Amino acid sequence: MNDSQSRIIAMKDFIRIQNPEDCCACGACVNACARGAITMKEDAAGFFYPAVDEAQCVKCGRCVEVCVFTKKQVGANGEPTVYAAAVKNSAVLRESSSGGVFTALAEAVIDRGGVVFGAAWGDGLTVAHIGVDDKAQLAKLRGSKYVQSATGGTFREVKALLKDGRPVFYVGTPCQIAGLKAFLGEEPENLLTADLVCHGVPSQKMLRDDLAYVSGGAPDTIEAVRFRDKSYGWGVKGSLMRGGAKTKYDAGTSPYYFYFLKGEVYRESCYRCRFPGEGRQGDFTLGDYWGVRQELVDKMGGVDPDDGISCLLVNTDKGRQWLSAIEAGLSLALSDRHSAEKRNKQLLSASVPTPEHETLKNGYIENGYDAFRAGYKTHFKEHMIRTAKNMVPSKLKRRLNEMLSK
């Protein structure tokens, strides 16, 4: 039993988080409580934690039972088959963050009468998981939202759909997939899951503050946020739409995006994330195939890496079956785990907090978003280097990276 398990189990019959790193906000406990006694409450930095209304609680212990942090081991899939992959549909590829494998799988599930769950923008620039069973609605789920998505009551919805015999595809961070499985307590045949390569999530409050800042105090004028906009190439550059006009949203314009990429402002559980080490959670793992070698691109046949390539891990036999259902719509090349991990360390280990993490977090709690703005200015040299790097054409950048990694 590890420290966090004993800390939680030693508590009475209901869930109590004594240490913030022992909760990833998956929402399994909230979904499991038949009394509706648990709600998610925001802390000073905007991160959500479960709070129990003791007057409603009957001390059944169900919330403790379903919490992944009380489990010895989560996710024990075997050795994955690794691919470089991209959808052939160029419109979908353009709208997707990496190679668009999510949409290919989602469409196949909908074609079989299923429901797809993923993260979508909601009112007031919030992000939450929703379920859709219409291909036109998949646009809402497409694209990475680099913030913690609220799972709300979706685990219960999934349970009811599975019981009715509907196929369900649920996509989320590894901790969300682990939470869903712990909540269900079994793995029904009609459930398909994909976890994302994930280095951590900031809070929605931090993101809202940032959007207020970059919009000059008028977040209501933001019509759309994209963290990944391929009109700037396949990379970590996004855009904001305001009044029908597009502006860049990236580490050069947004303190939030800058600190997200540096790994400074994540939830505490992310710095102790157990998921990279304990095997994958989903039938699939989806990520960007950063640093994909030209040799592999050639094997995919006629793809332009600047359009985006997914790093696709197929973790289970169920995953292998579904892959054969979508294979015709993909450009695919077999790779291996070592190559995929080279530029994606999140597949191997959790993010490491630096001293700036504590300073920023405490600064944010005390002074709000001003702490991010003040810290951001001190990174003048990094901003200059980033600007210079952005001026190098991506094809040349890839060649240089390839030469340097030899």
Ligand X SMILES: Cc1cc2nc3c(=O)[nH]c(=O)nc-3n(C[C@H](O)[C@H](O)[C@H](O)COP(=O)(O)OP(=O)(O)OC[C@H]3O[C@@H](n4cnc5c(N)ncnc54)[C@H](O)[C@@H]3O)c2cc1C
Say which amino acid occupies 388. Answer: A
Backbone phi and psi for residue 228, each to the nearest 5 degrees, phi listed first? -130, 110
Decide: is 288 part of the binding site for ligand X (CB under 6 A): yes
Residue number, 56 or 247, with CB nearest to ligand SF4: 56
Whole-number Å distance between alpha carbons of 253 and 190: 43
Q: Which of residues 144-173 bind ligand X (CB under 6 A)?
A: 144-147, 149, 171-173
Nearest approach, Cβ of residue 103 and ligand X (Å): 6
Nearest approach, Cβ of residue 169 and ligand X (Å): 9
Nearest approach, Cβ of residue 201 and ligand X (Å): 5
Residue 141's binding partner out of ligand SF4, ligand X, none, with CB under 5 to 8 Å set by partner kind: ligand X
What does the block give as tokens for 387?
Answer: 């600007």
Binding mask 50-69 for ligand X (x = CB under 6 A): --------------------
Residue number, 142 or 274, with CB nearest to ligand SF4: 274
Of 27, 62, 156, 80, nearest in space to 319 by CA? 80
Whole-number Å distance between alpha carbons of 246 and 232: 12
Residue 67's binding partner out of ligand X, ligand SF4, none, with CB under 5 to 8 Å set by partner kind: ligand SF4
Which residues of the chain form contacts with ligand SF4 (CB under 6 A)? Answer: 13-15, 17, 23-29, 32-33, 35, 37-38, 50, 52, 57-63, 66-69, 173-175, 179, 198-201, 267, 269-270, 273, 275
Supply the DSSP string of 154-218, one letter for each residue: HHHHHHHHHHTT--EEEEE-HHHHHHHHHHHSS--TTEEEEEEP------HHHHHHHHHHHTTS-
Decide: is 97 part of the binding site for ligand X (CB under 6 A): yes
Rounded to the nearest 10 degrees, the angle between the axes of helix 255-262 and helix 370-377 is 70
Whole-number Å distance between alpha carbons of 178 and 76: 11
Decide: is 202 part of the binding site for ligand X (CB under 6 A): no
Of 97, 158, 128, 26, nearest in space to 287 by CA? 97
Whether the Cβ atoms of residue 261 and residue 339 lie closer than 8 Å to each other: no
Residue number, 199 or 237, with CB nearest to ligand SF4: 199
Nearest approach, Cβ of residue 245 and ligand SF4 (Å): 33
Using CB under 6 A, list all residues that contact ligand X: 96-103, 118-119, 127, 141-147, 149, 171-173, 196-199, 201, 286-288, 310-311, 344, 346
